[in-house]
Amino acid sequence: MSGPLAPGSMIGILGTGQLGRMLALAAAPLGLRCATFGPEAEAPAHDVCAFHVCAPWEDLDAVRAFGARCDIVTLEFENVPVAVLDALAGVVPLRPGVRSLALTQDRLVEKRFVAELGLSPAPFVEVNSLADMQAGIAQLGLPAILKTRRLGYDGRGQVLLRSGDDAAAAWDAVGGAACVLEGFVGFTAETSVVLARGADGSVAAYDCPQNTHAQGILRRSTVPGPLSPDQTSQAVAAASAIAAALDHVGVLAVEFFLGTDGRLVVNEIAPRVHNSGHWTIEGAVTSQFEQHIRAVAGWPLGSTALTGAGAVMDNLIGDEAGQWLQLAAEPGAHLHLYGKSQARTGRKMGHVTRVSAPRP
């Protein structure tokens, strides 16, 4: 790219889910158009994009043809095969780049990267066999969490071990996949930094929310969050160092545990817009989705200031989306439904955000 994308330009999005949907909705007021690529015939982002290409990730000719129709390509989830990104090289600029995805697709590589930056991941051991896991249990103690190195999200690919008797069952549960055994971290709260990094290295970070999970799925994000001003500075500095080391362009999220000793422990990195930043659509001057579009398009980053005294975002999971009529009638409730045709247990169907009025 020789300069910022002009209005009317086409931004390609790899992935077709709700994050792609909200990216496209944020791009439209800026005069930028979006298109999506993915294997799904029906998907949330299709409803709001200029066009979509339905093809398997393995169809690299279709990938290249898609890229040729776009002015830049970005992504809405981190498990896009690296071969797809390689196929786009030389066809269209890609933001963020291959390094952000290749690193965050593998939990072991990610944790080693975090440690090499001088930050604190949860204690971990590489696991490639039941014997490895048993040795890891002896080293880290219990409870511990066995996580597949790839493709885990929203609690999938994770097994909690509370006793040594769980080891064989846990290994069977992950199908013998390459894993990481993660030591338990005592914590008082979960939080995250959602920030955007521009191509010029500029960074804009949002307030750190308190994140509440159930069964591995984010239920609620609340701002102001649990961190002191000093802890907030540490968290933003850590996330900024990660983004800089990756030369990441776009939005990136880093999840943290706030340890019982006040220490910040890095849990996971997401090289994309993030569920814990959904509150920013109404709760911040510039949403994380608009911010990502601005960053990848080479535009100036927007303000991350709060629009009120705070905000609470609740995910609507499974049949909770059936409450749409009551939520639509609730004063001050901002309802977002993702257009998914079927509600399933554990499936994110939408979210609702409530913004507190500014203090007088």
Domain covering 10-94 assigned CATH 3.40.50.620 in the classification: no
What is the tens place of the pLDDT at every residue in 28-65? 999 999 999 999 999 999 999 999 999 999 999 999 99
- pLDDT tens digits along 101-137: 989 999 999 999 999 999 999 999 999 999 999 999 9
Between CA 309 and CA 325 the distance in angstroms is 27
Evaluate if residue 346 carries a pLDDT over 80. yes
- Match domain 187-356 to its CATH number in 3.30.470.20, 3.40.640.10, 3.20.20.80, 3.40.50.410: 3.30.470.20
165 pLDDT exceeds 70?
Answer: no
Give residue 23's pLDDT band: very low, low, confident or very high (50, 70, 90).
very high
Percentage of the chain exceeding pLDDT 90: 87
Residues of the chain with CATH 3.30.1490.20: 123-183
Give percent of the chain with pLDDT exceeding 70. 97
Report pLDDT digits (tens) over 236-280.
999 999 999 999 999 999 999 999 999 999 999 999 999 999 999
CATH 3.40.50.20 residue ranges for the chain: 10-94
Q: Is-contact 259 265, C-beta < 8 A? A: yes
Classify the C-alpha dihedral 269-273-276-277 as positive or negative. positive
Residue 153 or residue 357, greater confidence = 357
Contact 316, 323 (CB under 8 A): yes
Residue 356: phi and psi, rounded to 5, are -75, 145
Mean pLDDT confidence for 139-155: 83
**Residue 99: closest CA among 290, 285, 244:** 244
Mean pLDDT over each residue of the chain, to the nearest integer? 94
**pLDDT interval class at 357 (50, 70, 90):** confident
Which residues belong to CATH 3.30.470.20 in the chain?
187-356
**The CATH number, out of the four listed (3.30.1490.20, 3.20.20.80, 1.10.10.60, 3.40.50.720), of the domain defined by the range 123-183:** 3.30.1490.20
Of the two residues 105 and 157, the one the predictor is more confident about is 105
Order of strands, sheet of 10-14, starting from the edge strand that comes earlier in the sequence: 51-54, 33-38, 10-14, 72-75
Q: Counting runs of H as helices and runs of E as strands, what totals does the chain give?
A: 11, 17
- Residue 155: pLDDT band (50, 70, 90) is low
| Range list of β-strands (E), the chain | 10-14, 33-38, 51-54, 72-75, 124-127, 144-148, 158-161, 179-183, 187-197, 203-205, 210-214, 217-223, 250-259, 264-270, 310-317, 333-337, 348-356
